[in-house]
Amino acid sequence: MQLKKLISYICFLSFIFVKVNFAADTLTVMTYNIQGMKPGTDPATRILKIIEKLKIFNPDIIGLQEINEFLNGTKNQGKQIADSLSVYFNIPYYFYQQATHLSWDNKFRESIGIISKYPVLKSGFKQLVNGIFPRKAVWNYIDTPVGMVNMFNTHLSYNSGSVRNQQVLQIIDYVKEIENQNPGVATILTGDFNDAPAATSVRYLTETNSDTFYISTFTEANPGKSGATVPASSPSSKIDYVFYKNIGQLEVLKSLVIMGSPYDGVYYCSDHRAVLTEFTGNVTDVALMEYDEIPKKIKLYQNYPNPFNPSTTIKYSLQDPQVVSLIVYNMLGSKIATLVSAYQHAGSYTVEFDGSNLSSGVYMYKLQVGENFKIRKMILSK
């Protein structure tokens, strides 16, 4: 009996070790328009408050928009953030930027940039078609714990929808060019797109009928929620995004809209809120599935077949009796179908989903059990 207990204890320790080991293989990405040095907003205080909050959220990679510096090159806000985080966490932070135009009555130089706590092996940029101001997309090839990542960041024109459409198409081509030369586990695109999810520019990314289109991480993690980011004091529009390409190597653990509290009860760090997304490699769930000593509350399996046409089977299991909902959403977060809404006993269940009336594309299915939920993607290919 003692030997059996010892073996069980060793197995339990093995589970804990594996769980901790794989939990380290995550990647947290943030996008934030920091409002530069806009006169009348006390930018010197704002940047310090931004840094204080970044120390708490501790993102691995940050796509920054509206980075300002004085015309003589001093007081660069992006460099100030990177240097402060380097000192605080005692690790080197890499900062890459490209200047775009002069801002705020030509008193400051504005840039777009990327900050990374992981090594940047290559970098570059793409000049985009001009609106009122010149715009760019910047790129870093980053060696992260989940593998090599192609990280892109941009800030689109605010005054012209047709210009934004052209800029997105340029970015799509630029990403393809970079990916062909620099393979990675994922492509991530952040930025201030100055357009809502239903706008043409964003739909160029999110409605591509293939398994390599871009997914809004906030929408995937929070189906049906708006994720509005502007204005910071009372957000009503979503224009800031963390997108990733659905190449099967990463999964979204969570995605949040943050930086929404005034730092002194009145004033905000920026006129935008930020989006923070945590990714994990698919290997995490596979590793934990091999151990049964600490069973999960719920399990949601990948649909089969996938891709499918026109129907597919979704399987899930419950550890305890619960009220269950299983809902299908499109990638804009709109509800497509409710497959289950009922109290169910512990056990395994299968549900058929028929996509006969839907167009080809990627859809999400969300299993909600009490406060716990799981989300997976499926591809309808007609």
What average pLDDT does range 167-182 have in this prediction?
95
| Angle (deg, nearest 10), helices 43-57 and 77-89 | 40
Q: Does residue 12 lie within any of the structural domains?
A: no
How many residues would you count in the chain? 382
Domain residues for the domain of 168 are: 25-285
Among 232, 258, 285, where does a domain finish?
285
* pLDDT of residue 78 exceeding 70: yes
pLDDT of residue 304: 86
Indicate the pTM of the whole model: 0.73
Q: Worst-scoring range by mean pLDDT, 175-184, 261-270, 275-284?
A: 275-284
pLDDT confidence of residue 377: 84
Q: What is the percent of the chain where pLDDT is above 90? A: 66
Between 297 and 284, name the one with better pLDDT: 297
Tell me which of 65-74, 167-176, 188-197, 218-227 is least confident. 218-227
Residue 16 lies in a domain: no
Based on the domain organization, do 301 and 277 belong to the same domain? no
Per the structure, the count of domains in the chain is 2
Same domain for 245 and 328, yes or no, is no
- Residue 332 is predicted with a pLDDT of 74
Cα-based torsion angle of the residue sequence 65, 69, 72, 74 in order, rounded to the nearest 10 degrees: -130
Q: Are 333 and 365 in contact (CB under 8 A)?
A: no
176: number of CA atoms within 13 Å, CB side?
A: 9
**Cα–Cα distance measured from residue 81 to residue 64, given in angstroms and rounded to the nearest whole number:** 10
pLDDT band at 251 (very low <50, low <70, confident <90, very high): confident
Stretch 72-90: mean pLDDT, rounded? 96
Do 91 and 213 sit in the same domain of this protein?
Answer: yes
Q: Does residue 172 register a pLDDT over 70?
A: yes
Q: What burial letters (b/e) apply to 67-100, b meaning 16+ CB within 10 Å?
A: bbbeeeeeebbbbbbbebbbeeeeeebbbbbbeb
Are 118 and 217 in the same domain?
yes
What phi, psi does 21 have (nearest 5°)?
-60, -45
Q: Residues 6 or more apart from 90 whose CB is under 8 A from it?
A: none
- What average pLDDT does the chain have? 87
Kindly give the residue spans of alpha helices, DSSP state H, lying in the chain: 2-23, 43-57, 77-89, 161-181, 200-206, 217-221, 283-289
Q: Quickly state the pLDDT bin for 301 (edges 50, 70, 90).
A: confident
In angstroms, the CA 35 to CA 337 distance is: 40
CB count, 10 Å around CB of 221?
21
**374 found inside a domain:** yes
